[in-house]
C-alpha cells in the first residue's frame, strides 16, 4: 500500500501544468474526479485522484475555435496509432488521452451559483473553474479531497519541465 504524503499544504492553485489523465463522475454520480499526474517536488510527484465532493452543478465547454474542431473531426484523431497512420494531419489529437491543466483551477470568489446552492442546502458551497488545454469546466461543490495513487510521472516528465523550489 502506498504511504500517503502530507498533502495539507496543497491548494487548487498547485494543479497547474499537471496532466489530466481522466475525469468524470464517480459511479454513485455525486462526486466528480480528476485523475492527474504531477511533477510536484519529491515526495509529492506522482498520480493522484482529486475528488470534488457534492458536485451539484457543472458546465463543460470546448474553448477552441471551430476551425480546430473541424480539422480534428475524423476519428483518426481519437487514436494515436490511426493518427500516425494518417500522416499526422493538422488538428487537435484527442488520442493523446490526456490534457494539460493550464492555466489550471481558479476558485471563483462571490460566485452567484455557489451562493444559490449554499442557500438551498444550508452548507458552504464553492465554484471553481478549470481551464485545461482546449476545455473549460465550471462546477459547484462542497469540498475536495486528494489521494496519492502512485509515484508514476512517466507521461508528464516527458512533456513538461519541473520548476525548482
Give residue 156's pLDDT.
83
How remote is the C-alpha of 40 from its chain's centroid? 15
**Higher-scoring residue by pLDDT: 18, 113:** 113
DSSP state of 74: S
Q: What is the pLDDT of residues 57-87, one digit of tens each?
A: 999 999 999 999 999 999 999 999 999 999 9
Domain extent listing, the chain? 12-62+99-159
C-beta separation of 36 from 52 below 8 A: no
Q: What is the pLDDT of residues 146-161, one digit of tens each?
A: 999 999 998 887 775 5
- The residues, any chain, with a CB within 8 Å of residue 109's CB and separated by 6 or more, are none
Residue where the block lists cell 484523431: 77
Give the integer Cα–Cα distance in Å for 17 and 94. Answer: 18
Q: What is the pLDDT of residues 79-138, one digit of tens each?
A: 999 999 999 999 999 999 999 999 999 999 999 999 999 999 999 999 999 999 899 999
Phi, psi at 48, each rounded to 5°: -135, 160
Amino acid at each position: 500500500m502506498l504511504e500517503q504524503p502530507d498533502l495539507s499544504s496543497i491548494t487548487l492553485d498547485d494543479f497547474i501544468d499537471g496532466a489530466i489523465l481522466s475525469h468524470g463522475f464517480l459511479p454513485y454520480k455525486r462526486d466528480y474526479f480528476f485523475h492527474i499526474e504531477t511533477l510536484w517536488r519529491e515526495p509529492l510527484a506522482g498520480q493522484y485522484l482529486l475528488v470534488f465532493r457534492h458536485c451539484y452543478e457543472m458546465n463543460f465547454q470546448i474553448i477552441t475555435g471551430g476551425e480546430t474542431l473541424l480539422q480534428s473531426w475524423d476519428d483518426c484523431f481519437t487514436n494515436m496509432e490511426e493518427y500516425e497512420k494518417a500522416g499526422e494531419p493538422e488538428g487537435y489529437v484527442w488520442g493523446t488521452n490526456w490534457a494539460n491543466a493550464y492555466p489550471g483551477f481558479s476558485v471563483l470568489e462571490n460566485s452567484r451559483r455557489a451562493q444559490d446552492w449554499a442557500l438551498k442546502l444550508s452548507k458552504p458551497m464553492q465554484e471553481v473553474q478549470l481551464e485545461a488545454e482546449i476545455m473549460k469546466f465550471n462546477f459547484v461543490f462542497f469540498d475536495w479531497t486528494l489521494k496519492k495513487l502512485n509515484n508514476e510521472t512517466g507521461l508528464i516528465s516527458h512533456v513538461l519541465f519541473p520548476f525548482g523550489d
